A and B are shown apart, each in its own frame.
Chain A
Amino acid sequence: MKYLFPDISNQLSNALGSIPFFMPEIYITVLFVLVIVTDLLFGKNSARLCRTIACAGMVVVIFKDLQQFEQILSGGHFLFGSMLLLHRTAIVFKLIIDLLSFILLLYFEWDHRLKAHKKGLSDLYTIVVGSVLGLHLMIMAVNLLSIYLAIEFVSLASYLLVAYRSENAFSTEAGLKYVLFGAASSAVMLYGISLLYGFGGTLDLFSGHMAERLAQVNTMSVSFAIVLVLAGIGFKLSFVPAHFWVPDVYEGAATPVTAYLSTLPKIAAFALLVNFVTPFVFYDHWKGFDFRLVLSAIGILTMIAGNFAAVLQSNVKRMLAYSGIGHTGFALMALVTFTPQGLSALTYYLLMYGLANIAALALANYFENAEGITDVKDYKGLGFKYPLASVCFVVVLISLTGLPVSAGFTGKLFVFSAVYSIYQQNHDVWLLALLITGALTTVVALFYYIKVPLNLFLKRTELIVSENKWSYNLVILSTMIAIALIIFGIFPDLLIKYM
């Protein structure tokens, strides 16, 4: 204890010195408190006000994120005694998260069923803002401890969101399933972390000792520990075989919450995975656990399982859940390149996936609001009744499939070229297998995505003249996203050059 005293001042100055690099997170914390207080002060009618404050706050946070680019001109920066790492990719990830959460904060209220909740939505906004803080931490975490804490932070928020509106047994079941699965996987992950700490004697991933010491330990045991940690991250990423919770939870949760779950935690988990694997991949003498091999195999399995399972679904949300699993697999492909080019392809792909997925779920929500339908078979002939929403749906799904001219296609192209350029150097068969699986599953993806336009436009039915409960907001939101997807499809370098 005595030896630590001289260190305290160092630690304090380090912590204080880190604060300027921590501004976006501090702003989110303030925003979180503000939203809670507003909720408490204004009671039941505060939902609208909370939403306004939360959205305005997110805009400020985005500006703060942008300012951070100037702080890291000379390279990455460790914060709070190497708990967090602020670097360029992290800022890009944070921007993606903040942009998408801004859209989601706008969107929550437009779900009729969620809006009819008797508690009101104020709490929901608080939880989401809080989770964004967790997501930021996840993106920057480079210490096994901070990784675990950040994941738990986000998990807790997600549990609350999933169970926010549990009106029937199915969604209650979904909520419970999610909590149980999440708790189990974080326990497993914690066990893995403790093993790694035991083997390596450090929690700091970037200290330089971690990989070096682990390389000297028995390969099997280290691999076992790493697999356990990956299982925890995999729960958030929803890759195979940690994907079993996805369809039920996505279907059971309120649609905007599904939109949240399928994008934000997944994107942050990719950033986390990048942080986690980097020290091992770039340690030259690392011989044991082959990250490229394992992640490639997982990617291939995930693409196949997600896409083929989606073919069998007829519930739109369930279908999008499985397709989201497939997209995780595809994004893993960009990750296993372990190059800056691969990372920028990954961020671009994830942003476009996030936008398109939110828009697709918003449109599913639109039809749910308007006609009370969730099954794709009930979409029959609705294309003529709701032309704008249906056309947007087609555009969004085209982007998710990855056909030109859409941002999804350019994303796919960037990922393919990143992987190919590595393949050209090392002729790794796994990379080739990833490329081929990626191409094949595109065809499979078309097969199920096309069901939506098929029912909207091709199947004819007597138009039932029902009362229109229009949700203009949802159409406006998804139209804007659809237009953005086309624009980024034609001019991807508007964006990719910053990533």
Chain B
Amino acid sequence: MNILTLLIFTPVLFGLIILLLPSSMRASFKYITLLATLLQLGFSIWMYLNFKTGASYAGINHEEQFQFVQKLPWISLDLGGAGKMQIEYFVGIDGISVTLLVMTSLVLVIAAIASWEITSNLKGFFALFLLLDMAVVGVFCALDFFLFYTFYELMLLPLYFLIGMWGGARREYAAIKFFLYTLFGSVFMLLVMVGLYLSVKDPITGNHTFNMIQMMNPKNYIDGSVFSILSHQTILGMPARTVGFVVLFIAFAIKVPVVPLHTWLPDAHVEAPTPVSIILAGILLKIGGYGIIRICTGIFPDVAYSGAYWLGLLGVISILYGAFNALAQRDLKRMIAYSSVSHMGFVLLGIASQTAEGISGAVLQMVSHGFLSTMLFFLVGVIYNRVHDRDIYNFRGLGTLMPKYTVYVMVAFFASLGLPGFSAFVAEAFSLAGAFKSHNVNGLLPYWMAVCGSVGILLSAAYFLWTLQRMFFGTVSLKGGDIWKIALTDINWRETATLLPLALIALTLGVMPSLVLGKINDSVLALVQFTQNVFHY
């Protein structure tokens, strides 16, 4: 049995068990889910430890360099004159996916623990949770575009119900907004996907293929096909490859989210229950970033190269706009949601620089933000569960009331604002270094973009520290008075058990970023090499 297949489908298996068990055993569902996610974590750590590094394992555009590969024929269809359709169950990982997979598995464990707070309709919740789990893990492993798309779309429905059924007051609005936004991006992705597969032929079998790695090789494109580099086709008067890139980019940019496609995010986050917020911020946003790296720049490197300025510009706008919005929020969860927009901007900036530093920084930022946003949303969930309020101005002096909690909040805040010693610092520093370097190396990004990115770090320090001051310092003064005071007990062992590892990881990655960088380095170098070589074909 292939380890990746196990990793992907373990949760569905457990989900089926939950569906089959009678509702009278509902108390056991959360343990079953936790067991499933722990198993996944075990698998992913095993993979991480056995992951081979070195230039011959870089992956990206070399199929044989991927690890833990499984490839089975899935759908094969005779299209008459147009050849054969070849869809495969093709999973495998390289340096870029392996660290994201470990991050994903860990975040899912935390989300499973956070699901303890769910009280209604447990069977539905955990079944959907595990379905979502399968889909997000599948996205990071899939190397066949069709398989990728299937997992990508499969995330939508469980999330719709998870937000819509267990969410807050405006949950219906938030759920449908999220669903429509993402679907809007992905239906057009479907068109580009079909166009790509009709443009590409597998050199060995001669069939049209959905294999993403084959799509990266310009030699596999049929002469005169829509997306062929050499044929310079146009769609509605625009260069076809640019259209393809832009459509795919919009689909992923909605997920990231990149300003101005971010408006679903604050609503979805605010209304979603804590475990779903954790999955949204911790994993889903990374799928956007991962898609941009693997698919947008992987398949359309030429357009990514020529359009790097615009990507960088969008990244900088996201960084600044997200940060300013975060400053203006009263709702703690909304503030963190906007801080996510800001932090994910660094990912885009790093990718746009197309330097080894920038892309490493982007991947590291995704991993680091995965852990930190999980921690932040979990922390918001802690107060919200106790008093069902999270308005920043309704709390004051929490530091004396909940000292242990405050310590974790401080760790999370300082780590997020990029204090040296924590993971976000290294990640943001690398992204910015890439952006600065880009001007000299490939001339893609001007200096001012890197400067504006640095201003973003400053702003994030402002909103995090200001929030810390407003909510945690000073004398105790709560809107709910004594009732709140009693309700706001310090964190219990379950919460500690969740927060402590996250805090430790943030610190460890800050001190030893090589845990991530060591694994991704070869792939990043290969990617940079690949994007720069594309014009030589």
Contact = CB atoms under 8 A, between A and B. Distances in A.
A340 to B, nearest CB: 5
A439 B190 contact: yes
Contacts of A341: 79-82
Interface residues of B, number: 42
Contacts of A470: none
B198 interface: yes
Nearest to A496: B77
A417 B199 CA distance: 11
A33 interface: no
Contacts of B225: 424
B79 A417 contact: yes
B477 to A, nearest CB: 35
Contact of B172 (A421, A423, A446, A459): A459
Contacts of B191: 416, 420, 435-436, 439
Contacts of A417: 79, 85, 194, 197-198
B80 A457 contact: no
A429 to B, nearest CB: 8
A49 interface: no
B165 interface: yes
Nearest to A403: B153
Given A384-B121, A403-B156, A420-B195, A493 B76 contact: yes
Contacts of A450: 160, 176, 179
B180 A446 contact: yes
Contacts of A230: none
B154 to A, nearest CB: 6
A476 interface: no
Interface centre among B164, B183, B226, by most chain A C-beta atoms within 10 angstroms, is B183
B165 A457 contact: yes
B171 interface: yes
Interface in B131-182: 149-150, 153-154, 156-157, 160-161, 164-165, 171-172, 175-176, 179-180
B150 A424 contact: no
A443 interface: yes
A450 B160 CA distance: 10
Contact of B153 (A404, A421, A447): A404
Contacts of B165: 457-458
B441 interface: no
A440 interface: yes
Nearest to A410: B75
Interface string A427-455: 10100100110011011001100100110
Contact of B75 (A384, A404, A427, A493): A493
Nearest to A416: B194
Interface in B29-80: 75-80
Contacts, number: 96
Nearest to A455: B172
B487 interface: no
B534 to A, nearest CB: 23
A443 B187 contact: yes
Contacts of A497: 77-78
Given A416-B194, A439-B187, A440-B187, A454 B77 contact: no
B172 A454 contact: yes
B157 A421 contact: no
Interface centre among A421, A423, A496, A497, by most chain B C-beta atoms within 10 angstroms, is A421
B1 interface: no
A492 B160 CA distance: 26
A423 B85 CA distance: 17
Nearest to B73: A493
B236 interface: yes
A459 to B, nearest CB: 7
Given A417-B194, A439-B187, A493-B77, A404 B82 contact: no
B179 to A, nearest CB: 7
A447 B190 CA distance: 18
B235 interface: yes
Interface string B102-145: 00000000000000000001000000000000000000000000
A416 B190 contact: yes
Contacts of A413: 190, 194
Contacts of B172: 454, 458-459
B140 to A, nearest CB: 17
Contacts of A384: 121
B535 interface: no
B85 A405 contact: no
B489 to A, nearest CB: 29
B231 to A, nearest CB: 10
Contacts of B176: 447, 450, 454
Contacts of B188: 439
Interface string A384-422: 100000000010001000011100010011101100110
A442 B183 contact: yes
A420 B180 contact: no
Interface centre among A404, A409, A439, A442, by most chain B C-beta atoms within 10 angstroms, is A404
B80 A340 contact: yes
Contacts of A493: 75-77
B184 interface: yes
Interface in A326-344: 339-341
Contacts of A69: none
Interface string B437-468: 00000000000000000000000000000000
A457 B164 contact: yes
A432 B190 CA distance: 14
A398 B157 contact: yes
A491 interface: yes
A424 B198 contact: yes
B194 A420 contact: yes
Nearest to A493: B75
A412 B153 CA distance: 14
Interface string B186-204: 0110110011011100000
A454 B150 contact: no
29 contacts: A339-B80, A339-B81, A340-B80, A341-B81, A341-B82, A398-B157, A404-B149, A413-B194, A416-B190, A416-B191, A417-B79, A417-B198, A420-B198, A420-B226, A421-B82, A424-B198, A424-B199, A427-B233, A432-B236, A439-B188, A442-B187, A446-B180, A447-B176, A454-B172, A454-B176, A458-B172, A458-B175, A459-B172, A492-B75
Interface of A: 339-341, 384, 394, 398, 403-405, 409, 412-414, 416-417, 420-421, 423-424, 427, 429, 432, 435-436, 439-440, 442-443, 446-447, 450, 453-454, 457-459, 491-493, 496-497
Given A404-B153, A423-B226, A446-B183, 13 more contacts: A403-B183, A404-B154, A417-B85, A421-B198, A424-B198, A435-B191, A439-B188, A439-B190, A447-B176, A458-B165, A491-B75, A493-B75, A497-B78
**Which are the 9 A-B pairs with shortest beta-carbon distances?**
A458-B164, A439-B187, A404-B150, A404-B153, A421-B82, A416-B194, A442-B187, A340-B80, A417-B194
